[in-house]
Amino acid sequence: MAKEGDLVKLKYDKGTAEGVLMPSSKEGVVVIKLDNGYNIGIEKKKVESMTVIQKYSAKETPAKPIAQKKGLPKISILHTGGTIASKVDYNTGGVIARFTPEEILAMFPELRDIANVESRLIRNMWSDDMRFAHYNLMAKEVEKEIKNGAEGVIITHGTDTLHYTSAALAFILQDLPIPVILVGAQRSSDRGSSDAATNLIAAARFITKTDFAEVALCMHKTESDDSFFILPATKTRKMHTSRRDTFRPINQLPWAIIEGEKIIIIRKNYRKKSNSKLKIMPIKENLKIAFLKMHPNMFAEEFECYKNFDGLVLEGTGLGHAPISEIDEFTKEHTKIRKAISELAKKMPVVVSPQTIYGRIQINVYSPGRELQEMGVLGNYSDMTPETTFIKLAWLLSNYPKQVKEMIVKNIVGEISERTEPEGFLL
């Protein structure tokens, strides 16, 4: 039976064709790559026979051992996904993930003059599949690298939930002695516009040239390849589906900007490298925390379905509001919603966050907001993003379950700003 990568000969209604069997994105179509480099697709129903001329055999080039350079710091790269460390096999059209130090340096040779690199895979997954257990796993792997003498750790990660993971690690990794920088790639490594290499190299350069010791993200500042942000772990969000500069700081300025080999420190109040002992404070893996976005025409059932959860984050409209006012014959459902929220707040922490993303919750300004406070809804004056609110609530319930009410609006790892930076809006 023919498999992808095999050299095959097809006989079909219009003649014969010979080439390499390729992956097909369309059901019912056979795709082969011809000698001239072009692909052709033939409907399976029109294929009379397929003969294997030669079976595909992947050719692996033995990696040369890495010579450690004296005087260079040691950086560990932990991989959770394949996009940023992968290359195309043009025989099959597939992407092959590469994770060993030798393979990483072969793909990104610039790293040789920046640091001595250790690299390994801890998971190979889509970021949408992340669960609390994976955050705890990453934290333990960071701890191992610190014990093995790493002076910085880079974690490669899918971009879709990268900002959830950065927030989680910021809370879990307490008293961090070295930097932990998360990087991703918006463009696959098989594309000329890929940002995989540039993000990784910029993160390594930042680690080796500064005394920074926080969890942070390193991603493009602009669409070009010469400017990058070092972004705060708990105040960053993915803001575009495909742009390379999708990650933006929210209600805060970035830690730094990298332009080529130049590093510009924007905020100096970061944690410095030290000999402190790392303390891991994990998130309980079986916690059930929910999101609910406020919107027109809501029903009480939308709230009631979370009665068996451990916590609920409401994405409030405006300053942090919900539809709880019965003002005419069309809004009788809002009385039921008010009751549903009140009942939930008696069973679990219910925290409001701004669905506007930017700005600060102020549920003491208008009467609906004051009613929410009276019902037990938490979060007033917070400027945390909804994603960070979600992560912080889970972390507090895991480590300080009796102090959630007081600590949810207390700044712990930079998630709540003392004042809103006007320059941080749409930066």
Q: What is the mean pLDDT of residues 256-277?
A: 96
Q: What is the mean pLDDT of residues 268-296?
A: 97
Q: How many CA atoms lie within 13 A of 85 on its CB side?
A: 30
Residue 268 reports pLDDT greater than 70: yes
Residue 305 reports pLDDT greater than 90: yes
Residues 289-407, CATH architecture: 3-Layer(aba) Sandwich (3.40)
pLDDT tens, residue by residue, 102-145: 777 777 788 889 999 998 889 888 889 999 999 999 999 999 99
pLDDT tier at 187 (50, 70, 90 boundaries)?
low
Lowest mean pLDDT among 88-92, 180-184, 319-323: 88-92
For position 97, what pLDDT does the model report?
Answer: 57
For position 198, what pLDDT does the model report?
Answer: 87
Residue 101 reports pLDDT greater than 80: no
For position 394, what pLDDT does the model report?
Answer: 98
Enumerate the domain spans of the chain: 7-54, 74-280, 289-407
Q: What is the mean pLDDT of residues 316-337?
A: 97
Residue 82 reports pLDDT greater than 70: no
Q: What is the mean pLDDT of residues 264-286?
A: 97
For position 78, what pLDDT does the model report?
Answer: 94
Contacts (Cβ under 8 Å, ≥6 apart) of 169: 135, 138, 139, 142, 155, 180, 182, 215, 233
pLDDT tier at 194 (50, 70, 90 boundaries)?
low
For position 421, what pLDDT does the model report?
Answer: 77
**pTM listed for this prediction:** 0.85
Whole-angstrom Cα Rg for the chain = 26
Q: What is the distance between the alpha carbons of residues 141 and 173, in angstroms, rounded to a whole number? A: 11
For position 325, what pLDDT does the model report?
Answer: 97
DSSP-derived pairing of the beta strands 74-79 and 116-121: parallel
pLDDT tier at 22 (50, 70, 90 boundaries)?
confident
Q: What is the mean pLDDT of residues 258-262?
A: 92
Q: Calculate what percentage of the chain has a pLDDT beyond 70.
A: 90
Sign for the CA dihedral angle at 339, 345, 348, 350 comes to positive
Higher local confidence (pLDDT), 164 or 41: 164
Instruction: Report yes or no: 170 and 217 within 8 Å, Cβ to Cβ.
Output: no
- Asked if domains 74-280 and 289-407 share a fold, the reply is yes
What's the CATH class of domain 7-54? mainly beta
The dihedral region occupied by 50, where left means phi > 0, alpha psi between -120 and 50, and beta the remainder, is: beta
Q: Single out the residue of 163, 199, 154, 157 nearest to residue 181, CA to CA.
A: 154
Lowest mean pLDDT among 87-96, 134-143, 265-274, 376-385: 87-96
| 74-280 maps to CATH 3.40.50.1170 | yes
Active site residues: 83, 159-160, 238
For position 64, what pLDDT does the model report?
Answer: 58
Q: What is the mean pLDDT of residues 215-240?
A: 95
Contacts (Cβ under 8 Å, ≥6 apart) of 184: 83, 84, 127, 156, 157, 158, 159, 162, 199, 219
Report the chain's mean pLDDT, rounded to a whole number: 90
